[in-house]
């Protein structure tokens, strides 16, 4: 999809297309729509990131709370978004054995208890062995640092989802700005 098409989208179409680049946060896409026209995919991405960065801490934590636990209840109940299901599947998290699933469930609960939001990781840039290791490592982080890290992961996910939608170069896995 080219930027001319993106810039010509009406409000509803834009929100339908970009409403889940930030997991379950179509309001972000709704706010970004008003910033048209975009000069290119990096400009579009920058508007999403600027919106997140401008939120107060409570809003940023709210964005994080929209993410599901990796290999968690939403996966087990079949209620993941299509994007999350694809990403968790690519990381091998949809085929964990019972022991690995229980280990992740415990780590996810500890993380949520410590930080007040779920562990967010760009799953498709990881594999099933890396996820619990990274979760355990990040459990030891300070809350302010972890908030920044988690928001950086949201931006990576956003970047990858936009690349899927726009056919952009997905090889660049780091977002424009952390």
Give the residue numbers annotated as catalytic, written as ranges.
Answer: 67
d(CA 117, CA 55) in angstroms, rounded, equals: 16
Local structure of residue 123 (DSSP, 8 states): G
The two tokens of residue 133 are 């290791």
CB 70 within 8 A of CB 104: yes
**Mind spelling out the 3-state secondary structure of 22-81?**
CCCCHHHHHHHHCCCCCCCHHHHHHHHHHHHHHCCHHHHHHHHHCCCCCCCHHHHHCCCC
| In contact, 25 and 66? CB cutoff 8 Å | yes
Please report where in the chains the tokens 């500890």 appear, as a residue. Answer: 110
Query: How far, in Å, CA of 157 to CA of 114, rounded?
Result: 23
């Amino acid at each position: 999809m080219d930027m001319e098409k993106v810039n010509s989208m009406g409000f509803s179409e834009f929100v339908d297309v970009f409403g889940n680049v930030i997991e379950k946060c179509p309001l972000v896409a709704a706010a970004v729509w008003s910033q048209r026209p975009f000069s290119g995919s990096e400009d579009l991405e920058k508007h999403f990131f600027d919106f997140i960065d401008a939120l107060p801490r409570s809003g940023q934590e709210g964005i994080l709370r929209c993410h599901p636990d990796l290999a968690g209840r939403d996966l087990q109940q079949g209620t993941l978004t299509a994007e999350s299901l694809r990403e968790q599947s690519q990381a091998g998290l949809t085929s964990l054995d019972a022991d690995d699933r229980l280990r992740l469930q415990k780590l996810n609960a500890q993380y949520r208890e410590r930080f007040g939001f779920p562990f967010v990781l760009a799953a498709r840039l990881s594999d099933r062995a890396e996820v619990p290791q990274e979760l355990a490592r990040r459990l030891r982080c300070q809350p302010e640092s972890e908030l920044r890290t988690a928001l950086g992961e949201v931006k990576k996910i956003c970047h990858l989802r936009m690349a899927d939608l726009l056919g952009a170069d997905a090889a660049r896995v780091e977002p424009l700005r952390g």
